[in-house]
């Protein structure tokens, strides 16, 4: 069985050429009603809620190994499967899934650049035929490398080699729009809203590499630093995580609890 050697960020034209690959698994994290209406031929549906764990007020936590084992097995994932994920919102949900794959050490994955917007708007084949995955056996083992938790961040607040990248809106960052007990941001965090990386003129694709690098480096987000991405629930910031990974950043982590944890904890410091 030939492996599909695909880039981390794959274009619709290239993906269409790969649809017959046997070890390729297309995972659609669009809204359910969108998937039922149309999706890429062969894509299986994954409900976003299945890959996050909630302990209110924390809404975006990582599920445990047993849960992830069940979800990934239900998708028919194997160690050799190359996953291509996409959604209908620009990539946030798809990237949360890819970050989850990173956490369990599954390295064969890609993001469809622009997702369903790029695919459908540029005339590629779609179908309403439902594809059901063949259940497999996949053992998920959590690797802490791509993970940052509250204590890790507290331990590194004064570390000049660690940068916190807040992917929320400027209003959330400033504390004028509040979705937790407290508003504001983690001390020292740098705010680059996740949509700043998207090119709305090119069907929600990532912006050109040179533009992304300039945006990041002008804000002190350089490849020599360890970068921790977060938002409210590590949904938007998962897109930021995959964007950084696509640019070759090696030291990146995602904070799953994000502001839904930090902003609801009166014992941690904030700025606004």
Q: What's the Cα-to-Cα distance from 6 to each of 1, 23, 39, 130, 139, rounded to whole Å? A: 15, 12, 20, 25, 23
pLDDT band at 4 (very low <50, low <70, confident <90, very high): very low
DSSP for 72-127? HHHTT--TTPEEEEE-SSSSHHHHHHHHHHHHTT---EEEETTHHHHHHHTT---B
pLDDT band at 1 (very low <50, low <70, confident <90, very high): very low
Cα 54 from Cα 23, distance rounded (Å):
32
Taking only the tens place, the pLDDT of each residue in 155-203 is: 999 999 999 999 999 999 999 999 999 999 999 999 999 999 999 999 9
- 58 catalytic? Reply is no
Q: What angle do CA 53, 58, 60 make, to 5 degrees?
A: 45
Domains, the chain, with CATH or none: 9-121 (3.40.250.10), 147-262 (3.40.250.10)
* Peptide bond just before 257 cis, omega within 30 deg: no
pTM: 0.96
The pLDDT assigned to 5 comes to 78
Asked whether the predicted pLDDT for residue 3 surpasses 90, the reply is no
76 contacts 135 by C-beta, under 8 angstroms: yes
H or E segment at 245?
helix 236-246
Taking only the tens place, the pLDDT of each residue in 211-225 is: 999 999 999 999 999
Taking only the tens place, the pLDDT of each residue in 84-138 is: 999 999 999 999 999 999 999 999 999 999 999 999 999 999 999 999 998 989 9
Report how far Cα 87 is from the mean position of its chain's Cα atoms. 11
- According to the 3-state scheme, what is the secondary structure of 45-80? ECCHHHHCEEECCEEEECCCHHHHHHHHHHCCCCCC
Which among 231, 242, 243, 244 is annotated as catalytic? Answer: 231
Q: Across the chain, what does the average pLDDT equal? A: 96
Taking only the tens place, the pLDDT of each residue in 241-270 is: 999 999 999 999 999 999 999 999 999 999
């Amino acid at each position: 069985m030939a492996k599909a050697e695909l880039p981390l960020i794959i274009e619709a034209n290239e993906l269409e050429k790969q649809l017959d690959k046997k070890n390729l698994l297309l995972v659609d994290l669009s809204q359910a009603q969108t998937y039922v209406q149309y999706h890429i031929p062969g894509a299986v549906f994954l409900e976003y809620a299945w890959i996050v764990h909630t302990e209110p007020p924390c809404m975006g936590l990582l599920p445990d190994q047993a849960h992830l084992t069940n979800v990934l097995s239900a998708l028919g994932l194997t160690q050799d499967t190359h996953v291509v994920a996409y959604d209908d919102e620009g990539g946030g949900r798809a990237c949360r899934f890819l970050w989850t794959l990173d956490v369990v050490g599954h390295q064969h994955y890609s993001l469809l650049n622009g997702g369903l917007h790029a695919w459908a708007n540029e005339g590629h084949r779609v179908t309403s035929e439902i594809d059901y995955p063949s259940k497999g056996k996949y053992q998920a083992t959590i690797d802490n490398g791509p993970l940052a938790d509250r204590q890790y961040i507290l331990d590194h607040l004064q570390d000049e080699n660690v940068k916190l990248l807040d992917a929320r809106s400027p209003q959330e960052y400033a504390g004028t729009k509040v979705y937790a007990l407290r508003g504001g941001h983690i001390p020292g965090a740098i705010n680059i809203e996740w949509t700043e990386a998207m090119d709305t003129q090119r069907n929600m694709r990532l912006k050109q590499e040179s533009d992304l690098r300039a945006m990041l480096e002008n804000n002190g987000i350089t490849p020599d630093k360890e970068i921790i991405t977060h938002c409210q629930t590590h949904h938007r910031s998962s897109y930021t995580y995959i964007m950084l990974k696509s640019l070759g950043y090696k030291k990146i982590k995602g904070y799953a609890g994000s502001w839904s944890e930090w902003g609801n904890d009166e014992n941690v410091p904030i700025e606004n």
